[in-house]
Chain A
Amino acid sequence: MMSWLDSNNNALYIAGILLCLLAFAPTHATSQEDSTEPRTLDALLGQFREMPGLEAEFQESKHLALLAAPLQSRGRIYFAPPSTLLRRVEAPETSDILITPREVRQRQGTHEAVIDLGARPEIQPLVESMLWLFAGNREALESAYEVRFEHHAENASWRVTLTPRTAPLNRLLRHMQISGQNREVRRIEVQETSGDRTLTEIIRANPRRRLSRDDVERLFADSDS
């Protein structure tokens, strides 16, 4: 039997979804209007906190043991503070993931699934941790992850490494690294325990895009048609 399902397959399933979402957390820092480079974790999280909303374009490269060559995809992310987030993959296949404090909704083609977070108390902190990052809540974030911040003054670059502390996420995810330069998030790398790796590069971001929760949910609903 596969070890990853020994405890709770849905937990890891949701954790898998989170991997897709986590890859977009720091795009706020790409704001061209901010001139101060974040030298500390608190400074970086502070910038996230001030974000009124976010729309960003990304391209992703998945290095999976199953595949001889990486899988490429691209899409957008929308975030409405404090807790609504939509990840939309536009190519090669379209798919949406909408995350709210209550549930995670996923749509791929005609298939839609809803995961009730209230029914999964063991999963809820994982989902919330995603929102903690966006909300810049360091205390809460550190309860779920070991958070390491590195700053390289020589090229004004920085890197945040998040390592899950507890199961089931730590059985799936080895760590996630978010790196940037000056105000910009350039690259997110998610390393799974299986050896699979996902590399995401931010092409363009608008951290001043004001979005409400209804706006994001409407975007998700519109993808029906």
Chain B
Amino acid sequence: MTSRDRWTLLIGALLLIGVGVYVVQNLRITTDIEHFIAEEEDRRLASMSRQIMDSELSRTMVLTLTSDDPSGVPAASRRFETLIREQAWTEEGLSFLEGGPPEGVDQALWDLYEPRRLSFFANVPENVGAALTDDALHRAAQRLRTELTGMMSPMISRVAPQDPFLTLPDLFQELERARANDLTLREGRFVTRDGRTAVLFLGTTASAFDADAQTPVLEGIAQAFQTLNNESSDTLTLDQSGVNRFATRAATSIQSDIQRISILSVVFLGILLIALFRSARLVGLAALPVGAGVLAGCAAVLASYGQLHGITLAFGASLIGVSIDYVVHLYCHHSIVRPEGGPRASLHHILRPLATGALTTLAGFCALGASSLIGLREVALFSIAGIVTAFGVTFTLMPALMPSRSPDVRLRTRLVATLERTLEVLRRQRRRLWVVPAIAIIIMAVSLPSLHWNANFGGMGELDAELLEEDARVRARVTRYEQMRFIVAMGDSEANALLTNDRVSDILAEAQQAGNIEAYRSIASLLPSPARQRAVREAVRADSTMPTRFTRAFQEAGFADGVFHPFLGDIESNSAPEPLTYDALMATPLRSIVRLFRITAEQRVAFVTFLSGVENLPHIVERLDDIPNVVVLQQDDLLGQAHEAYQRRTSELLAFGLIAVLLLLALRYRKASRVIAAIVPSLLAVGVTLSVLTWAGIGVDLVNLTALLFVLSMGVDYGVFLVDAHEQRDPLELAAALTSIAVAGVSTIIGFGLLAGSSYPVLASLGITATTGIFANLILAPTALFLFQTNETPRENRHA
């Protein structure tokens, strides 16, 4: 080892350690599906969808404690809250935990709304006139009289002098309904109507998709329940609902599957390398470019995006398959061809095919890097950084670290001899080899007309069935509002957003009356826009005849003269309180009611309306079309829309990538037959893989479409290795190349074969795609070599 080698190794080792430390310290895995929603195609929808997904709505969990004995439910709820609050994670991780209404809500209601009661006289200014006609005044007087005979008389008699229309009691009742949702209170705790289930709302400070932050939350809840249930003699049942549960389960599943598969792949590869090369050193060294590639990929994505998507990590596992090709090719050449000059000579010998393979792979992923999807850009960045690093490590570090001679291994000798015989058979049967691509083409012709796009992103949005069932149980008890459909009203300022929200609310009120929707939940009744608050107040004060008519109607109903002076005084007063604001509500315990409604979208203020029992959404959407700055968000449709956009864009990108690969190969070989021999097998392999996906009913989705790029890249690598070896006109070179392809291919198939059995649909789809594609490549690449390359004559075999 030269001094230069030592310096190179030292610098390389330091760089790798540094990158490794960075990755370990910064590794954050997310499963946020929004990474795979298009931006350019519909940036607005995607942005808002992400906002909602990252809002309090998605960070709120609903916990239900059920017992057969309703009398113990409130106490269990209180104890459960205490047990959770005692846990360490709550110090920074808990945003709120409510098992009952916060204290002070009533006082806050009074303080905020009583001075502004005239602004809440009616929902819309247009309704004020109808409420102040002579008939309406007589009805109001009669209503007040009736209320005074009833149970609320002591309260009503005190409110009435300044609020004879009972605006505040009505508003209080509406707020009470909004607060209670579908629940009732027992001993100060939220319980379901049957009293058997306590309900707690828990909000986390971290995003629901931050698996690292959510894991202690979920573990803490489970631990608190275990303690509680032990204390209650196992009489309680806990059901939970929350986006974080699905996200964390998915992240855990992905991590554990990838970990398991990576270990098994490494073990299998290790056994294969030991069997073929009998060198622990070579086995250990093989991990160097692969590990460096994965680390570099992780570091590049973490540095650019701050987190790593589970899908990107899954593709990272695929990178092992690509980068191991370089090492295996080097080992095989070094061990089988045994050029003078040891590993460095081998590397020099195969540098051109290695570089060509790496460049073609990079070309494909550079094209993917132009994708509109953040998730795919992550995959591209990961792959580019990983491949460049794996190639660089193979080029700079491996020759210095490899032993100068590889021992003779009988198994390898036999394998090479077998492959040489196979190649000879193929050469002799060259005229019949067209059968192989013909079969591939027939398979494609039969299957591809049925090819379908899978709109659910390869099951990325497919939720864990067990959790889904539990989630449904909770939602059935607690809320009937939909989680996937919202109406978002936006504005450059809070006042403008509320103004838009007022109009949305007006339309929904009409839709509700028309039976197009069962109910909706909006902040509009609690917080109309400042303009509407002023308009309603002014509408009440506008009619100068009203005080006289009011006094007459109420006196005729038996009310004493002069008792309503406070109300009439307000009507005549020119001083009015400032309109109620969102911040004013948030500064009080009322924040627990209003905080779910507001988000920021496109750096603008936005208010969300939740829908329930939607009967005729198209009708509502049509009505809302007339209002600017309103978006009806249907998250499920959004994914479908994004997928269509992705298909369009990604097809273009893949075409660009393919052209780039073709250009590179043309530049490299300058001969059509070689270019065809290098690329056609991988194209056919892609076609066969698509056929298998069609047969399996999986179809093409975001994930396996991207995985096909790996299939194409690896197939081109195989083609390039074989074509270059064939150019040498040395059967041993060709046997070495074929051995390396066989080893790399089989190890990749084993790894991805295991991935195909993953419980996570995305990983399974990825596994099936890669396994099928690489297998097809292994069959097609040698076939294509002899089918399309006719004029090279092999030289004599030197030795095996």
Question: Which of B107, B114, B559 touches A68 (beta carbons < 8 Å)?
Answer: B559
Binary flags per residue of A113-148, CB closer than 8 Å to B gives 1, else 0: 110111111000000000000000000000000000
A20 and B186 contact, CB distance less than 8 A: no
Contact string against A for B residues 143-156, beta-carbon threshold 8 Å, 1 for contact and 0 otherwise: 00110111111110
Distance from B180 Cβ to chain A, minimum over Cβ atoms (Å): 9
| B558 and A68 contacting across the interface, CB-CB below 8 Å | yes
> Is the Cβ of A194 less than 8 Å from the Cβ of B74?
no
Q: Closest CB of chain A to B407's CB: distance in Å? A: 81
B151 touches A106 (CB 8 A): yes
Kindly list chain A residues whose C-beta atoms are within 8 Å of the C-beta of B561: 68
Chain A residues within an 8 Å CB radius of B157: 64-66, 194, 196
Which residues of B are found within 8 Å of A117, using beta-carbon distances? 187
Q: Give the distance in Å from the alpha carbon of A71 to the alpha carbon of B148 in the complex.
A: 8
* Partner among B100, B110, B150, B560 whose Cβ is within 8 Å of the Cβ of A89: B150
Residues of A within 8 A of B579 (CB): none
Q: Does A17 contact B (CB under 8 A)?
A: yes
Cβ proximity bits B502-514 to A, threshold 8 Å, 1 near / 0 not: 0000000000000
Residues of A with C-beta under 8 A to B100: 119
Structural contact, B151 and A66, CB atoms closer than 8 A = no
Q: Which of B74, B110, B151, B173 contacts A16 (CB 8 A)?
A: B151
Which one of B74, B106, B186, B560 contacts A67 once the chains associate, using CB atoms below 8 Å? B560
Q: How far is the CA of A120 from the CA of B188 in the complex (A)?
A: 7
Q: How far is the CA of A12 from the CA of B157 in the complex (A)?
A: 12
B97 at the interface (CB under 8 A from A): no
Instruction: Given A9-B155, A89-B149, verify A114-B184 contact (CB < 8 Å).
Output: yes
The yes or no answer to B101 lying at the interface (CB within 8 A) is yes
Whole-angstrom distance between the Cβ of B158 and the nearest chain A Cβ: 5
**How far apart sit A196 and B100, CA to CA, in the bound complex (Å)?**
35
B563 interface contact, C-beta 8 A? yes
A119 to B188, Cβ gap below 8 A?
Answer: yes
Q: How far is the CA of A95 from the CA of B153 in the complex (A)?
A: 12
A172 touches B154 (CB 8 A): yes
Complex contact B154–A8 (CB within 8 A): no
Q: Is the CB of A93 within 8 A of B151?
A: no
State the Cβ distance, B220 to closest chain A Cβ, in Å: 26
Interface residues of B in 537-572 (CB under 8 A from A): 555, 558-561, 563
In the complex, per-residue mask of B121-165: 1 if CB is within 8 Å of any chain A CB, else 0 = 000000000000000000000000110111111110111111000
The digit string for A90-126, where 1 denotes a CB below 8 A from any CB of B, is 0011010100001100101001011011111100000
Asked if A4 and B158 sit within 8 Å, CB to CB, the answer is: yes
Residues of A contacting B534 in the complex (Cβ-Cβ under 8 angstroms): none
Residue A13 lies at the interface, judged by CB distance under 8 Å to chain B: yes
- The reply to whether A66 and B160 contact each other, CB–CB distance below 8 Å, is yes
Residues of B within 8 A of A59 (CB): none
Cross-chain contact B563 with A65 (CB below 8 angstroms)? yes
Structural contact, B150 and A95, CB atoms closer than 8 A: yes
Which single residue of chain A is at the shortest CB-CB distance from B163? A2
Q: Which residue of the partner chain B has the closest CB to A15?
A: B154
- Taking CB atoms, residues of chain B closer than 8 Å to A165 are none
Contacts of A121 in B (CB 8 A): 188
Report whether A12 and B148 are in contact in the complex, using a CB–CB cutoff of 8 Å: no
Q: Which of A66, A103, A119 has the most CB of B within 10 A?
A: A66
Contacts of A102 in B (CB 8 A): 186-187
Q: Which residues of B contact A19 (CB under 8 A)?
A: 154
- Chain B residues near A67: list those with CB within 8 A: 145, 148, 558-560
Docked-complex contact B149 and A192, CB < 8 angstroms: no
Name which of A5, A10, A121 has the most chain B CB atoms within 10 A of its CB. Answer: A5
**Is B74 touching A108 in the complex (CB atoms < 8 A)?**
no
Interface status of B338 (Cβ within 8 A of chain A): no
A62 within 8 A of B: yes
Q: Is B189 an interface residue (CB 8 A)?
A: yes
Complex CA distance for A89 and B176, rounded to whole angstroms: 25
Residues A71 and B155 in contact, CB atoms below 8 Å apart: no
**Complex Cα–Cα for A20 and B184 (A):** 24
Chain A residues 29-62 with CB under 8 Å of chain B are 62
Bound form: Cα–Cα A91–B84 in Å:
52
Residue B463 CB within 8 A of the other chain: no
Q: Does B185 belong to the interface (CB within 8 Å)?
A: yes
Q: Which residues of the other chain, B, contact A119 by a CB distance below 8 angstroms?
A: 100-101, 185, 187-189
Q: A20-B151, A73-B149 are in contact. Are A118 and B185 (CB under 8 A)?
A: yes
Q: Which residues of B contact A62 (CB under 8 A)?
A: 148-149, 153
Those of A158-197 within 8 Å (CB) of chain B: 172, 192, 194, 196
B188 / chain A contacts, CB cutoff of 8 Å: 116, 118-121
Bound complex: CA of A194 vs CA of B796, how far in Å?
A: 118
In the bound complex, do residue B161 and residue A66 qualify as a contact, i.e. CB atoms below 8 Å apart? yes
Q: Given A93-B146, A93-B150, A119-B185, are A1 and B107 neighbors across the interface (CB < 8 Å)?
A: no
Q: Shortest distance in angstroms between B171's beta carbon and chain A's nearest beta carbon?
A: 13
Nearest B residue to A72 by beta-carbon distance?
Answer: B149
Q: In the assembled complex, which residues on chain B have CB atoms less than 8 Å from the CB atom of A106?
A: 151-152
Assess whether B154 is in contact with A16, with CB atoms less than 8 Å apart: yes
From A10, A92, A95, give the contact of B151 (CB < 8 A).
Answer: A95
Q: How far is the CA of A9 from the CA of B115 in the complex (A)?
A: 15
A66 and B107 in contact, given A118-B185, A172-B154 (Cβ under 8 angstroms): no
**Beta-carbon contact of A8 and B106 below 8 Å:** yes
Fill in one digit per residue for B46-65: 1 if any A CB lies within 8 Å of its CB, else 0: 00000000000000000000
Asked if B155 contacts A16 (CB within 8 A), the reply is yes
Query: In the complex, which residues of chain B have a beta carbon less than 8 angstroms from the beta carbon of A10?
Result: 106
- CB B538 to nearest CB in A, in angstroms, measures 23
Give min CB distance, A105 to chain B, whole Å.
Answer: 10
**Which residues of B lie under 8 Å from residue A196 when comparing CB positions?**
154, 157
Chain B residue at minimum C-beta to C-beta distance from A104:
B151
Give, as a whole number of angstroms, the nearest-CB distance from A100 to chain B: 12
Q: In whole angstroms, what is the CA distance A20 to B145 when docked? A: 17
Minimum Cβ distance to chain B for residue A170 (Å): 13
Nearest residue (CB) in A for B566 is A2
* Chain A residues near B161 (CB-CB < 8 A): 66
A1 near B114 with CB under 8 A, answer yes
Q: A116 contacts which of B107, B114, B148, B185 (Cβ < 8 Å)? A: B185
Partner of A12, one of B155, B189, B559: B155
**Which residues of chain A are near B115, meaning CB under 8 Å?**
1
Give the docked Cα–Cα distance between A196 and B148 (Å).
12
Is B150 touching A116 in the complex (CB atoms < 8 A)?
no
**Chain B neighbourhood of A113, CB < 8 A:** 173, 176
Contacts of B187 in A (CB 8 A): 102, 116-119
For A68, the closest partner residue in chain B by CB is: B560
Query: Are the C-beta atoms of B149 and A93 separated by less than 8 Å?
Result: yes
Task: Find residues 157-205 in chain B having any chain A CB closer than 8 Å to their own CB.
Answer: 157-162, 173, 176, 184-189
Complex alpha-carbon distance, A121 and B110, angstroms: 20
Contact A65 B560 (CB under 8 A): yes
Closest partner residue, chain B, to A21 (CB atom): B151
Q: What residue of chain B has the Cβ atom nearest to residue A2's Cβ?
A: B158
Q: Is the CB of A17 within 8 A of B151?
A: yes
Q: Which of A9, A17, A68, A97 contacts B110 (CB 8 A)?
A: A9
Interchain CA distance A101-B155 in the complex, whole Å? 22
Contact yes or no, B148 A194, CB < 8 A = no
Q: Say yes or no: A108 contacts B563, CB within 8 Å.
A: no
Q: Judging by beta carbons under 8 Å apart, are B560 and A16 in contact?
A: no
The answer to whether residues A13 and B152 also contact, given A65-B157, A66-B157 and a CB cut-off of 8 A, is yes
| B-side contacts of A103, CB under 8 Å | 186
Q: A116-B188, A119-B187 are in contact. Are A13 and B155 (CB under 8 A)?
A: yes
Jot down 11 A-B pairs with beta carbons below 8 A, ordered by A. Answer: A4-B158, A9-B155, A66-B148, A73-B149, A95-B151, A108-B151, A108-B152, A116-B185, A116-B188, A119-B189, A121-B188
A-B contact sample (16 more), CB < 8 A, given A8-B107, A67-B148:
A1-B114, A13-B154, A16-B154, A66-B559, A67-B145, A68-B559, A71-B145, A71-B148, A108-B151, A113-B176, A116-B184, A116-B186, A118-B74, A118-B187, A121-B188, A194-B158
Q: 8 shortest A-B CB distances, which residue pairs?
A: A118-B187, A16-B154, A119-B188, A116-B185, A68-B560, A95-B150, A13-B155, A118-B188
